[in-house]
Structure 1
């Protein structure tokens, strides 16, 4: 999938990571990062665009 909606991100070595369920990008899990709860799970996102898309249709 093309990632033209956000810049490439460097993930510090040793950081906890998660896969964005919308675009598949690996993202660092941080307290200030974008995330949403669904079905008792926490999902993390690379951008507002992916987070909004997920919230519209989890």
Structure 2
């Protein structure tokens, strides 16, 4: 059986969500807890985007702050 995978999710994802979140944290517009909450949400979204087309092996450790 053929299995599909990829090399990971691009670091500059759609609408640059992580970049904007980091910049808000660095400029003290959001607290550390908000940064972490948004990061977890983005990470989950990235996993779902990769899972929906049917990838059998989704890479991990492709997300960093």
Alignment TM class, shorter chain as reference: under 0.3
Higher strand proportion? 1
Q: Which one has a bigger Cα radius of gyration? A: 2
Normalised by the length of structure 2, the TM-score is 0.26
| Higher RCO (C-alpha under 8 Å, 6+ residues apart) | 2
State the TM-score, normalized to the length of structure 1: 0.27
> Which structure features the higher share of helix residues?
2
